[in-house]
Structures are given as C-alpha cells and as structure tokens.
C-alpha cells in the first residue's frame, strides 16, 4: 500500500470488495512508534522508494477505521525488518561478482544504492508493521444492537417459545 498515493480510496475499495466478516493482513512500511521522518528520509521515501503514503501506525489504523474496518491490531515489526534489510544489503554486496556477470555493473550499482537507502531508512525512523482486522458482518450489527438494548423497556417480559412469554428474572 505504500506505493499508492491515494490510500484512502484504495482502502475503501478493499472494504467494498471484501465479504462481510472477511479478514485481512497487511505488512507495510510505517514510521517507528513515536518517531517522525527527517527531511532526508521523506525525500528518500518519495524519490527513491516511490512511497508517498508511509505514515505512523496510528494514522494507518485510523485510515482503516475510516474505511469501515474493525478489530484493527497493529504489531511493530521494525526490529525484524531492520535486521532483514541490513542483511539483504550486505548479502547483495557480497554477490557483486556473480551479479555483474549476469546483470551488469550498472544494474548492480543501482541496486546497491537502493539497498543502501532502504538500510539507512530502517536504521533511522522507518519501521515495519503487520496490521490485521476485518469487515464487520450483519450478524455483528445485530449482536451489538442487542447488547445496547434496554431490557427494562419490555416490561420484564421475554419470548421463551413462539407465542409464549415469561416474566424476566433479573438477578
């Protein structure tokens, strides 16, 4: 989702396409908790990574809620992703000879620069998150409405069997 400039519309489209009760999992870039991007980091995200919608985890969750999703949970994966991106960068540098043979020097140098930017971003204020949630179902709406219902409004009478009622015992 980080490469989509209009994340609001994309999330709404995902919500509209999902069946009621359907669940989702998203793994994406996000600012590390409590951090803000520097001007350099914002420039790299836009100009190198083409990622115009990297926000805080809180903003991401709010955007999902605005689209209609519920039970949103965000798990910070920043330390895992930081180690992985550093290892990927180092491993790629180690593959220079083989990569230059198959891809050429220009491609190798271009990717090294890209991996260096990603590594630097994750050493700074960029992190990763796993976000899960779901689209509510009609049955859930009925359940929530029932939970809010004031039982005193029925005069204490409940349907026990079709057509038969009993006085409600509140205890």
Query: Which residues contact residue 21 at a Cβ distance below 8 angstroms, ignoring those fewer than 6 apart?
Result: 134, 135, 136, 137, 139, 140
pTM: 0.78
Nearest to 67 by CA among 161, 131, 159: 131
Query: What is the predicted pLDDT for the residue at 48?
Result: 95
The per-residue pLDDT of the chain, averaged, comes to 89
Query: What is the predicted pLDDT for the residue at 159?
Result: 56
Q: Is the pLDDT of residue 5 over 60?
A: yes
Confidence of residue 147 (pLDDT cuts 50, 70, 90): confident
Confidence of residue 68 (pLDDT cuts 50, 70, 90): very high
The answer to whether residues 77 and 27 touch, using CB atoms and an 8 Å cutoff, is yes
Query: What is the predicted pLDDT for the residue at 140?
Result: 79
82-122 tens-digit pLDDT: 999 999 999 999 999 999 999 999 999 999 999 999 999 99
Output the CA torsion 75→79→82→87 (10° steps).
-120
Using CB atoms within 10 Å of the CB of residue 100, give its burial: 0 to 12 exposed, 13 to 18 middle, 19+ buried. Answer: middle
Q: Is the pLDDT of residue 161 over 80?
A: no
- Sort strands 157-161 and 126-134 into parallel, antiparallel or unpaired: unpaired
Confidence of residue 57 (pLDDT cuts 50, 70, 90): very high
Nearest to 85 by CA among 130, 120, 132, 54: 120
10-46 tens-digit pLDDT: 999 999 999 999 999 999 999 998 899 999 999 999 9
Confidence of residue 146 (pLDDT cuts 50, 70, 90): confident
Confidence of residue 65 (pLDDT cuts 50, 70, 90): very high
């Amino acid at each position: 989702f980080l490469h989509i400039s209009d994340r609001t519309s994309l999330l709404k489209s995902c919500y509209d396409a999902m069946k009621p009760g359907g669940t989702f999992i998203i793994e994406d870039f996000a600012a590390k908790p409590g951090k803000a991007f520097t001007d350099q980091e914002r420039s790299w995200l836009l100009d190198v990574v083409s990622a115009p919608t990297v926000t805080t985890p809180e903003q991401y969750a709010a955007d999902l809620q605005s689209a209609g999703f519920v039970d949103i949970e965000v798990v910070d994966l920043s330390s895992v992703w930081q180690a992985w991106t550093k290892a990927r960068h180092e491993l790629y540098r180690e593959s220079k000879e083989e990569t230059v043979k198959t891809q050429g020097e220009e491609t190798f140098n271009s990717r090294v620069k890209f991996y260096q930017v990603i590594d630097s971003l994750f050493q700074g204020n960029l992190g990763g998150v796993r976000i899960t949630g779901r689209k509510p179902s009609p049955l859930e709406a009925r359940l929530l409405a029932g939970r809010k219902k004031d039982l005193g409004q029925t005069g204490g009478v409940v349907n026990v069997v079709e057509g038969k009622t009993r006085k409600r015992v509140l205890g």
